[in-house]
A and B are shown apart, each in its own frame.
Chain A
Amino acid sequence: MTESSVSGKIIVLSDAKGHLIENIDTDQIFHNAHLHITEVDKMGTYAFGNLENWKDFPQKSSPGDILVVGRNFGAGSSRQQAVDCFECLQIGAILSPSFGAIYFRNAVNSGFPVLRSLELTQLVDEKKLETGDDIRMHFISGKAHISNKSLSFNILPMSDVQYEIYRAEGLYNYGKTWNQD
């Protein structure tokens, strides 16, 4: 059975001043020039390919890393590739103050953990949360712990639907558990 928590090393998507980059849109995550690509295993190389100073992200990230990003992450297009590219790189989860509505759904439906914390912006601004920190986030209790700093903070617990789809490892499997009328 899948875990009810996720852990990994944090990568903070910050600007030169150390603040979270807000409103990162799907064209910065996965540019429309690559929309014709339909194979998930070919998408990782384009992750953040149009985000200034982060174009080398596919080389910098490691499987299991957890992305910490600014509010309204994934605004813009409905492209599933903007989620799939992180799955391809085996990113463990994305944590943000908020997501674009379609982006959030797309991630939920893929069974990919997208988590929200209203405390995030302040934690990053105060450098309490930094790249390289080890985090564990619990989906149901809504607790997050930074083990190398003995720091705890709150995330929004997953909704029932999000957690059930996550446990089923995606919307398709989840739907197959239904009695279809």
Chain B
Amino acid sequence: MGKTLIEQIIQSHTHDEVAPGKIVWMDLDIRSARDFGGPNVVKNFEREYGDDSVKDKTKTFFTFDLCVPACTLKYADNQQMCRDFARKHGIKVFDVDQGIGSHVLIEEGLALAGTTVVGTDSHLNILGAVNCFGQGMGDVDITFAFKTGKTWFEVPETLRVKVDGTISSAASAKDLTLYILKRLGTQMAALKAVEFYGEAVKNLSLAGRITLCSMVTEMAGIIGFVTDVDENAAYADSVVLDVTGLTPQIAAPSSPENVFDVSEFKGTDIHSGFIGSCTNGRTEDFAAAARVLEGRKIKEGVMLKVVPATRSVYQDLLSQGILEILFSSGAIVSNPGCGGCAEGHIGLTGEGEVQISTGNRNFAGKQGKGQTYLASPEVVAASCVVGRIIGPEDL
């Protein structure tokens, strides 16, 4: 009997027998905490374990990415609390200059294929993009992981999703992702691992896999991988999708699976745009936006916020001339981090504001009182040029 990828990874980290539905105790290769959740971890740790050391300081990290550099006194205090704890315990901090923790873990070679990584980030399952079992957890779990290097986990069932066909030239990995989310909703992948395979996903770049795997969270799944399926393994269910000719997609307020063809919302006024997030914050996402914006200006009165995922991406934007194009078009380019998806360092939407975003969530109130549409970098860039929702091919 074969094993699905999640079963293989978990089995290599536990002495317990691995089978779907079974709860096992699993060794964790990397445990991390952000400036959100991290301060709670520090407080929990000191309350529960006093001056005890963490299980292994070389496997324990802080990654600051939510409010970077701190824009409120409380975040400044919280980050400093984590830094003090880190110094005391000899833990490395990827500080406020470094960008989104999950991406930093990939770039630094800490999240590797076949390893297990946890942290206080619900999109840490993004690490499925490199066949790593990443999992977001709350601060109690992470405190316990800092101390013991272990966690309990219910082995999920695996859903396999074959994605056939070739998307249209105007569509991107984000459109593919939104379409898959539309089809799977929040039920079909709920509490399952997902293995994506087939023509439409097998050649996705790392950035494309990151986009797809990041939104398995919005499908209510545990994690997604792009992998070859094991015909001898037991899958809970199989889905086959055909994306031939898929055109740009958009998720309308206020849920990510509320997905339509962009053409259905063409002409809807927007006031602001955001390109970035763990879902669309890689160099090729900004390069795609730059191809739309080169030689064009963002419409007067429209604000486009751009946030690279990491410092390394930021450097690419500089060295490849992408930053120049974005700047010249009128975009606001900030330092790397999670800004744009939650209350962080680049602001929120006001009442009546309509935003188009490359993020992964558009729940009511998440980014403020305005409304949020989710789309690809190309669609966001094009929409900001005309101040209305539009696909790049119609610009």
The interface of chain A, by Cβ under 8 A from chain B, is: 23, 25-28, 31-33, 35-38, 50, 52, 72, 75-80, 83, 98, 100-102, 105-106, 109-110, 159-161, 170-172, 175, 178, 180
Contacts and interface: CB of A to CB of B under 8 A. Distances in A.
A107 to B, nearest CB: 9
B43 A38 contact: yes
A171 B137 CA distance: 13
Interface string B186-227: 100011000000000000000000000000010010100000
Interface of B: 23, 36-37, 39-40, 43-44, 48, 66, 72, 74-75, 78, 120-122, 124, 136-141, 143-144, 147-148, 152, 154, 186, 190-191, 217, 220, 222, 255, 342-343, 361, 363-366
A78 B139 CA distance: 8
Contacts of A101: 191, 220, 222
Nearest to B143: A172
A35 to B, nearest CB: 5
A1 B25 CA distance: 25
Contacts of A23: 186, 255
A50 B220 contact: no
B23 A161 contact: yes
A78 B74 contact: no
Contacts of B220: 72, 75, 100-101
Contacts of A50: 364-365
Contacts of B154: 159
A7 B75 CA distance: 39
Contacts of B191: 98, 101
B148 A80 contact: no
B148 A105 contact: no
A109 B220 CA distance: 20
Contacts of B148: 175, 178, 180
B150 to A, nearest CB: 9
Given A100-B220, A102-B122, A175-B144, 20 more contacts: A28-B364, A28-B365, A32-B342, A36-B74, A36-B78, A75-B220, A76-B122, A78-B37, A78-B121, A79-B36, A80-B37, A98-B191, A101-B220, A101-B222, A105-B137, A109-B140, A159-B154, A171-B141, A172-B140, A180-B148
